[in-house]
């Protein structure tokens, strides 16, 4: 499986994402600059964290208009796995690939620490290696992770089981319904504020994030065997 790690001006977690895929997962990864006009040949698309375009105007709002985002949308529509982490999640929201919006943390402070997440839906291509209800340890690092949507959207997220992860024990940013990560209705696009790529080795304090990437590869292999 071949992953594209999208790099925007201001991305700062792209190297972490590349390391997680290449060195820990053992899959193929390549950096793709935001000006690229094609994602042909990539099986999975990864939007890393950081401060794309300095987070000016609004987090993810400028990156959403980058040339490569047209191809990210096409990849999502084609059913390819698309993962946006932290700033990547914000970009997916701005691009309309996921519902809702992101606000400043409730305490108006940047936070960087490990938190507990609850796996709300283990029946997605991103969470197949987890158990539903399992509590995992994943770090956060954000100033605008306070997820919000209207009541109708929240009801749909719950009804369609699009809430993949919630904060457990402590909601660090005030996110609505403790939401830490959501998928689109089709289930092939995941946005999450915590950083699984920073939890891929026990030396980092947790290896719980590695299973998310393993889930993607396992699903991809199984789907290609079926389609072969």
Q: Which residues are catalytic?
A: 86, 195, 197
- Cα distances (Å, whole numbers) of residue 221 to 123, 139, 211: 16, 28, 15
* Cβ-Cβ contacts under 8 Å for 14 (sequence gap 6 or more): 5, 6, 7, 31, 48, 50
Taking the C-alpha atoms of residue 127 and residue 212, their distance in angstroms, rounded to an integer, is 6
Helix or strand or coil: residue 101?
A: strand
- Cα distances (Å, whole numbers) of residue 88 to 55, 102, 103, 205: 12, 12, 15, 23
Q: What angle do CA 201, 5, 191 make, to 5 degrees?
A: 75
Taking the C-alpha atoms of residue 51 and residue 34, their distance in angstroms, rounded to an integer, is 14
């Amino acid at each position: 499986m071949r992953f594209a790690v999208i790099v925007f001006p201001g991305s700062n977690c792209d190297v972490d994402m590349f390391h997680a895929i290449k060195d820990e997962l053992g899959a193929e990864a390549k950096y793709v600059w935001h000006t690229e006009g094609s994602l042909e040949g990539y099986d999975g698309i990864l939007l890393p964290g950081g401060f794309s375009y300095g987070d000016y105007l609004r987090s993810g709002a400028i990156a959403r208009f980058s040339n490569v985002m047209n191809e990210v949308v096409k990849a999502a529509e084609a059913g390819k796995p698309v993962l946006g982490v932290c700033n990547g999640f914000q970009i997916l929201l701005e691009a309309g690939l996921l519902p809702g919006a992101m606000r400043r943390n409730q305490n108006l402070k940047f936070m960087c620490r490990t938190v507990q997440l609850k796996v709300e839906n283990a029946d997605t291509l991103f969470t197949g290696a987890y158990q539903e209800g399992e509590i995992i340890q994943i770090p956060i690092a954000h100033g605008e992770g306070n997820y919000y949507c209207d009541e109708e959207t929240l009801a749909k997220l719950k009804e369609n089981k699009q809430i993949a992860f919630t904060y457990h024990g402590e909601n660090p940013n005030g996110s609505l319904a403790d939401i830490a990560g959501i998928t689109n209705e089709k289930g092939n696009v995941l946005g999450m504020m915590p950083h699984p790529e920073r939890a891929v080795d026990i030396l980092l304090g947790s290896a719980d994030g590695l299973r998310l990437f393993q889930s993607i590869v396992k699903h991809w292999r199984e789907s290609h065997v079926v389609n072969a």
